[in-house]
Chains A and B, each alone.
Chain A
Amino acid sequence: MQTNILAICYLIGSVSFIIGLKMLSHPATARKGNLVSAAGMGIAILGTLFLYKPEGTSFHNYGWIAGAIVIGTVIGSISARKVKMTAMPEMVSLFNGMGGLCAALISIVEFGHIAQDHSDMHVLSILAGMVIGCVSFTGSMIAYGKLSGKIKDHTFPGQHIFNLVVLVVIVVIGAYIIHGNGTAPVFIFYSILGLAVCYGILFVMPIGGADMPVVISLLNSFTGIATACAGFLYNNQVMLTGGILVGSAGAILTILMCKAMNRSLKNVLIGSFGGTAASAEHAISEQGTYKEISLSDAAMVMNYAHKVIIVPGYGLAVAQAQHTCHELEKLLHDNGVDVKYAIHPVAGRMPGHMNVLLAEADVSYDDLLELEPSNEEFGATDVVLILGANDVVNPAAEDDPSSPIYGMPVLQVWRSKLVIVNKRSMRPGYAGIENGLFFRPNTSMLFGDAKAVLQQLVSQIKEL
């Protein structure tokens, strides 16, 4: 009886994950979809807690389990609530790493039981769950470190070959353990554990910070597969379907994200962003002269323009300047200027980052232009104000085949009459590439923190 009810709980869980994901992929139903999956998850977890009956023994350690769940809930909800909108991507990466760690720990525990009765397939799923879980955990931690700026890109010559060798060694040792039906000495198991941990670090380390969203999505998919392995091990349908679903959806999402940047997954993973040293040298030689514009001049030209397009980027997010930006937009609009926002699909640190941010500041959806409509409008625009965006407005993507971002669709801001670029300094953007836009004759620089600059622009325009 109990087991039957539990099976139904798991069925509800699986179905709610599918429906939830489906709803998440449409803007109107997305939020409900998230709640549907959460409800399904709650039913599956509660069902396991109260109805799960292991064969032969009884279910115990309730105190420990409850304690761990309470601690996890407190940490999870507080960190998720406190995190700033700008740091969301890091947070997702961190949570993903937690899932990977969980999968790895389960496999470590289960390996201790391996000698008893497990078949080759069970040994394989334990090993796969552990290796993938570990890679996902350390990889996500590195991705987190890179996004929050704590870890810089590191690479050494021949790293791709070295990574490949590590991977092959992991597979060979794994095959050896499976061949021995799990009776191999424990130190061999721990060596595979150590290698998997290292591989996660080696895998993400050379990939450039700008590509982290793609990497996180890929690692997310990995964790899904690790979950499915554990599901197979316990013959647990909700874990199996949930894991596979996330695995395949995550893989497709990764490819979609790559497509939005007009690059292939291969290009991202073994791609060219790693070669920052070379491109940095290249950049210094190319650095020409740029000119600055004063705040009052900038306020003047924007106030007397017919059409202004604002291009937000990560700088806006860092400075939390979305409200001030909206204020400037309203002020200009009241003075008869046509103001629009041009949103590059990967502006900021994640696809959709800018939409979320501007929505927070109540910017109307109708004022947000996507990539292609924006590019049609730039020719008829008087002033483009770039707020902390860099790589997404880099002309090298169109005219420099040697550039790492060559081929990525960019906002053609240089086609407008005047481009005002707000940046904190002349440092290159996140991808570490110099931007030729800043040295163009119709570009002027306006240095400073986005929020401070916008506030000053607002007060200057009010005085005009």
Chain B
Amino acid sequence: METLLNFIQSNLETLYVVILSIFLGIEVISRVPSVLHTPLMSGANAIHGVIIIGSIIVMGETSSDNYLVLTLGFIAVIVGTINVVGGFVVTDRMLEMFKTGKEGASKRTKNN
């Protein structure tokens, strides 16, 4: 019990950040139209690619002759980058479709 209280006391700021972020996440997307579910999921997927920062830190702090950690870190940076870059590009491609759709539609109404 005491350890828990100590933990809360020493990590109060972090706890605030966590709790506020939870509410923020819920609030930000609670009224999203179903058409956007897929792009939104894909966009959120790209955002958690921020984990790559952790893998960069791991790599940077490792001494250059620790080959096991270097290999693991190397793979981690690669897959993290794939998550970030791929995630944003795929999301952009999905949303691009929406945009051309609207422009195409407005163009057509003009022609009519």
Contacts and interface: CB of A to CB of B under 8 A. Distances in A.
Interface residues of B, number: 86
A73 B28 contact: no
B90 A83 contact: yes
The prevalent SS among residues of A at the interface is helix
B48 A227 contact: yes
Given A95-B46, A352-B39, A48 B89 contact: no
Nearest to A32: B95
Contact of A31 (B60, B81, B96): B96
B11 A248 contact: no
A98 B80 contact: yes
B50 A102 contact: no
Interface string B8-20: 0001001001100
Given A61-B59, A77-B85, A252-B26, A220 B51 contact: no
A300 B22 CA distance: 57
B53 A217 contact: no
Contacts of B39: 24, 30, 34, 352
A27 B33 contact: yes
Contacts of A239: 50-51, 53-54
A3 to B, nearest CB: 13
B54 A98 contact: no
A34 B95 contact: yes
A38 B37 CA distance: 19
Interface residues of A, number: 117
A105 B82 contact: no
A98 B34 contact: no
Interface string B32-62: 1111111111111111111111111111111
Interface string B72-90: 1111111111111111111
Interface stretch (A200-208, A263-271, A290-298, A362-370): A362-370
A72 B99 contact: no
A136 B14 CA distance: 24
A362 B37 contact: no
Interface string A246-268: 11111111001100100000000
Interface string A44-68: 1100110010100101111011011
B35 to A, nearest CB: 4
Contacts of A168: none
B27 to A, nearest CB: 9
A13 interface: yes
Contacts of B11: 121
A27 B98 contact: yes
21 contacts: A20-B47, A22-B29, A24-B91, A25-B29, A37-B47, A45-B53, A54-B61, A57-B61, A76-B86, A76-B87, A80-B90, A92-B38, A92-B41, A102-B49, A109-B76, A224-B47, A239-B51, A245-B25, A253-B29, A363-B105, A365-B102
Interface of B: 3, 7, 11, 14, 17-18, 21-26, 28-64, 69-70, 72-102, 104-105, 108-109
Given A45-B53, A76-B89, A353-B38, 7 more contacts: A24-B40, A95-B46, A99-B51, A106-B55, A233-B54, A249-B26, A359-B104
